[in-house]
């Protein structure tokens, strides 16, 4: 795939905008204000122990140590810490925080969620541009609790990249809420969403994460995916991603975020459109 200068600038901006977004939406220090010192001690010490073990095992040189320092400084200056952490660490955090669930499998949030996307009702079309690229996709589904009861009034927040692989509010030149919408299930828990299929996504290659990828000889691709957050009163929030069959990166996702249960089974319809059925089962909150 050839990359134009515009696409390159767009990709770089996306990585950095995620830092800005994180600062506006989250108060991470509030959340850990009361974490006991023993917990901080354990986590910080064991991370350092693990790094020390790598240094010893591979006899890391001063040139390598200094390259690491320079690179970490750059990641901060580029605003790519959210991108780095979401791509290479979040999948394990997601795993250990959801392994008790009986309902749907989830996946990572990634760096490009924005809360309060425009409400579309139970049946609606996600905000999109005139002539938006990508195969039109109709998605029908239901939200239920683990006991099978319908969850009416559940929220399905959907956000995804466009057919060039770019997210609104992170890449310039895209209308604010493009391909971002909130759907609310009817009394029967059902919803019907009209959108377009996103393209496979390449994480920005011209920032610090890209430097690491190039230096290590990795690739930068995520398979095409739809992001969702599904919520209902009294139930645990489900954050997930849905994938398309046959994508070459389903088995080789840079963010390690694909699970077999999250791969859709879309059917091709007349006029080259697609339809898909996918339901969500939410776990009731315990206690």
Q: What, of Fe ion, ligand MBD, none, does residue 255 touch, CB below 5 to 8 Å by kind?
A: ligand MBD
Shorter beta-carbon distance to ligand MBD: residue 224 or 274 = 224
Closest CA to 232 of 184, 286, 278, 191: 184
Q: How many residues bind ligand MBD (CB under 6 A)?
A: 12
Q: What, of ligand MBD, Fe ion, none, does residue 213 touch, CB below 5 to 8 Å by kind?
A: none
Closest CA to 212 of 112, 80, 50, 82: 80
Shorter beta-carbon distance to Fe ion: residue 117 or 232 = 117
Which 20-39 positions form the footprint of ligand MBD (CB under 6 A)?
none
Which span (60-68, 104-112, 139-147, 272-280) binds Fe ion, by CB under 5 A?
Answer: 104-112
CB 204 within 8 A of CB 86: no
Closest CA to 254 of 225, 287, 286: 225
Which 74-113 positions form the footprint of ligand MBD (CB under 6 A)?
83, 86-87, 108, 110-112
- 155 phi and psi angles, rounded to 5 deg: -100, 130
Helix axes 81-88, 62-78, angle to 10 degrees: 110
Q: How many helices (H) and strands (E) does the chain have?
A: 7, 12
171 touches ligand MBD by CB under 6 A: no
Residue window 106-135: x/- pattern of binding to Fe ion, with contact defined by CB under 5 A: ----x-------------------------
Strands (E), the chain: 123-125, 136-145, 155-160, 180-184, 190-196, 201-202, 221-222, 225-231, 238-243, 267-268, 274-277, 280-282
222 touches ligand MBD by CB under 6 A: yes
Name the site residues for ligand MBD (rule: CB under 6 A).
83, 86-87, 108, 110-112, 201, 203, 222, 255, 257
Name the site residues for Fe ion (rule: CB under 5 A).
110
């Amino acid at each position: 795939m050839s990359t134009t200068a515009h696409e390159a600038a767009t990709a770089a901006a996306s990585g950095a905008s995620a830092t800005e977004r994180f600062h506006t939406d989250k108060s991470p220090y509030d959340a850990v204000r009361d974490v006991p010192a023993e917990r901080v001690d354990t986590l910080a010490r064991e991370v350092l122990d693990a790094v020390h073990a790598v240094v010893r095992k591979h006899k890391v040189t001063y040139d390598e140590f200094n390259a690491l320092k320079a690179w970490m400084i750059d990641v901060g200056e580029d605003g790519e810490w959210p991108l780095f952490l979401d791509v290479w660490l979040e999948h394990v955090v997601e795993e250990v925080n959801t392994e008790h669930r009986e309902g749907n499998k989830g996946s990572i949030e990634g760096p490009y969620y924005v809360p309060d996307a425009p409400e579309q009702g139970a049946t609606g079309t996600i905000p999109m541009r005139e002539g938006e690229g990508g195969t039109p996709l109709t998605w029908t589904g239901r939200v239920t609790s683990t006991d099978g009861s319908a969850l009416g009034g559940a929220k399905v927040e959907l956000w995804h990249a466009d057919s060039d692989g770019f997210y609104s509010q992170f890449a310039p030149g895209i209308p604010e809420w493009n391909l971002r919408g909130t759907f609310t299930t009817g009394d029967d828990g059902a919803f019907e969403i009209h959108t377009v299929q996103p393209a496979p996504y390449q994480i920005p290659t011209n920032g610090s994460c890209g430097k690491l990828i190039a230096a290590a000889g990795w690739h930068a691709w995520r398979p095409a995916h739809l992001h969702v957050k599904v919520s209902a009163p009294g139930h645990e929030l489900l954050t997930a991603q849905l994938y398309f069959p046959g994508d070459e990166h389903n088995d080789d996702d840079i963010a390690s975020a694909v699970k077999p249960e999250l791969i859709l089974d879309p059917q091709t319809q007349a006029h080259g459109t697609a339809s898909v059925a996918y339901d969500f089962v939410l776990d009731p909150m315990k206690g």
